[in-house]
Structure 1
C-alpha cells in the first residue's frame, strides 16, 4: 500500500482516536461516580441501541461464521478491556493512564508471534526494553510521590493494555470480514452481553458497583455511547483500508487529546516523568514498527 493510498485511512483513524479520547473524558466522570462496571454497562447498552438503529435499517444479511467468531472474541475482550481501563482511568491522571497503555503495540508484537506465527526479531526485543523502561519511570515516580499511589489503577491499565494488544490483532481481522456499521453494532451488543452475564457475580461480590445513572449522568451516558459508536465506525473503516502497521502512530495522538482534556476538565497536570515514560514507550513502538522489514501485524483473513 502506498503512502497516498493510506493517507485518508490514516486521517480517518486520527479522527477516530480523537473521538475516543473525548469519550474517555466523559466516561472518567461516570466511572468515578458510578463505578467502572456500571459506567461501561450502561454505555454499551446505549451504544448497542444507537448502532443497531443504523445496522438493522440497512437490512444486511446476518454475519457469517468467520465474522461472528471475531465479533464474539472481540466483544469478550472489549468488555474486560473497557472495564479495567475505566477502573484505572478513574484513579489515575488521564495523561499517565494513556501513556501506560501505549505499551500495547509492543505486547502486540509478541502476541503476533504467539497467535500468527510471526518472528520476534531484535527490533522487538529492543522495543520491549524501551517500553518497560518507560513503564518503570512512571511507576517509580508514582511510588515516590508521597500521595495516594493507586497501584491498583496502574495494574488495571496494564492489564487493559494486554487485552488491547490482542484487540489490535482482532480489529484488523474483523475489519476484513465485516462492514464498519456491523462492527460498531456487534462490538457494543456482544460486549454488553458479556457484562450482563457477569452481572449476578458482580452483584454478589460488589453490589455497590451496580448503580443506575441519575440526573445529569444520563447525558454523559448518551454522549459516551454516541462517541463510542462514531469512533468504532471510523476506526473500523480505516483498518479495513490500511494495514495495522500504517496506523500504529495514530494511537499516540491520544496522549495529546487526553492530556488536553485532563487539564481542561479535571485540572490534571502532565508531569515530567509521564512525558519521559511516554517518549520511551512510543520510541520503542516506532522502532519496532519501522525498524523491521516485516509488517507489525499482517493478518490473513481466517488466520
Structure 2
C-alpha cells in the first residue's frame, strides 16, 4: 500500500524523482500481492505481524548504527501512536479485503484516501476546500459505485474493508501532516513500525501458525518491499515536486492489475476499469485543485 511524504529540499531532478516513485509504486503493489497470497495460507494477523517486524528490523539495521536510539525520540508520542494505529488499521482492513476482492479493484478503492484527506481536512485541520475539490471527492465516490455497482460480483459487504482501509489511511496522512512539524520522516516511520511490531507481537500468539520453509522468503520479501517502497517514496520527493509526482502514484493501480492477472489470473471487467479510471481522474483533479491553491 502507498503513503505520502513531506516534500524535501533538492527538488531539481524530475526524471530521477519519477523513476523513484514508479519503483515505489511497483514495490507497493508487489507488497499487496504478497499479502494477498500469504493471507490465503496464514492468518491475517500473522501476515501483518511479519510485515511490520521485517520492516522494523531492516530500518534498525539501516538507521540505528549511525543514529542509535535518537531515531526514536519524538516530541509528540501521543500523535505518533495514533498515527501508527491508523496505519495498522489500514494494513489489517486492506489485507482482509484482499481475501474477497481482486487486488486491482481493492487498490483503486483504497486510492480514495487522498480524496478523503480533502474532505476530512475541513473539520479536522480547519482548511478551506474549494467547490472543485468537493466535486472531485464526489466523483471519486461515484467511481467506487461504478466498481461495486448493484448486481455486480463486488457488491458485497466485503467492499467495506478497502473503504475502511482508505478512511484509516486518510487519517494516517492527516496525522503525518501534524507530526511532520515536530519529527523527521525517519523518526515517524521507525516509530510506526516499532509500535505496530510490538502491538502485533502481543496479538499474534493467538493466531500463530508455524510457517513452512518455502514461504519464509515470501514473508521476508513482504516486509522488504514495504520498507524499501517507503524509502523510495521519500527519496522521490527529494528530487521532484509533489504536483509533478502525483499522477505517477496511480501507476500502483496498473501494477496491481498486472500482478492480479499474472498471479491470480484475474483481469478487471470493463465496468471495473471504468470505475478505476474515474477514481484516478478524480484524484488527479483534486491534486490539480490543491496545486492551484498553492498547497
Give the CA deviation at 1:72: 2.2
Using the TM superposition, name which of 51-60 and 226-235 deviates more. 51-60
Question: Are 1:19 and 1:227, in contact at CA under 8 Å, matched by a contact in 2?
Answer: yes
Alpha-carbon distance between aligned partners in 2 of 1:114 and 1:247, rounded to the nearest angstrom: 27
Matches within 5 A, 1:84-233: 84-140=93-149, 143-145=150-152, 149=154, 151-174=156-179, 178-179=183-184, 181-199=186-204, 203=206, 209-233=207-231
Matches within 5 A, 1:10-49: 10-49=18-57
Q: Which sections of structure 2, spanning at least 5 residues, go unmatched?
A: 1-6
Alpha-carbon distance between aligned partners in 1 of 2:283 and 2:148, rounded to the nearest angstrom: 19
Alpha-carbon distance between aligned partners in 2 of 1:33 and 1:177, rounded to the nearest angstrom: 41
Give me the CA root mean square deviation: 2.8
Q: Which residue of 1 aligns with 2:4?
A: none
Alpha-carbon distance between aligned partners in 2 of 1:175 and 1:35, rounded to the nearest angstrom: 34
Instruction: After superposition, give the CA deviation of every residue in 1:126-165 in whole Å (9 maximum; x if it has no partner).
Output: 112211211111111xx424x5x57243111000001111
Give the CA deviation at 1:241: 6.8
Alpha-carbon distance between aligned partners in 2 of 1:290 and 1:238, rounded to the nearest angstrom: 19
Q: Which residue of 1 aligns with 2:65?
A: 57
Give the CA deviation at 1:50: 1.8
Give the CA deviation at 1:244: 5.0
- Mark the CA change 1:151 to 1:66 in structure 2 (over 3 Å): closer, same or farther: farther
Question: Are 1:184 and 1:233, in contact at CA under 8 Å, matched by a contact in 2?
Answer: no
Using the TM superposition, name which of 43-52 and 130-139 deviates more. 43-52
Alpha-carbon distance between aligned partners in 2 of 1:284 and 1:175, rounded to the nearest angstrom: 26
Alpha-carbon distance between aligned partners in 1 of 2:289 and 2:184, rounded to the nearest angstrom: 32
- SS of equivalent residue, structure 1 residue 65: coil
Question: Are 2:13 and 2:239, in contact at CA under 8 Å, matched by a contact in 1?
Answer: yes
Give the CA deviation at 1:4: 6.2
Give the CA deviation at 1:212: 3.3
Alpha-carbon distance between aligned partners in 1 of 2:143 and 2:77, rounded to the nearest angstrom: 37
Q: Which sections of structure 1, spanning at least 5 residues, go unmatched?
A: 204-208, 299-303
Q: Which residue of 2 aligns with 1:271?
A: 269
Instruction: After superposition, give the CA deviation of every residue in 1:91-111 in whole Å (9 maximum; x if it has no partner).
Output: 211111111112111101012
Give the CA deviation at 1:226: 1.0
Give the CA deviation at 1:233: 1.4
Question: Are 1:37 and 1:83, in contact at CA under 8 Å, matched by a contact in 2?
Answer: yes
Using the TM superposition, name which of 156-165 and 189-198 deviates more. 189-198
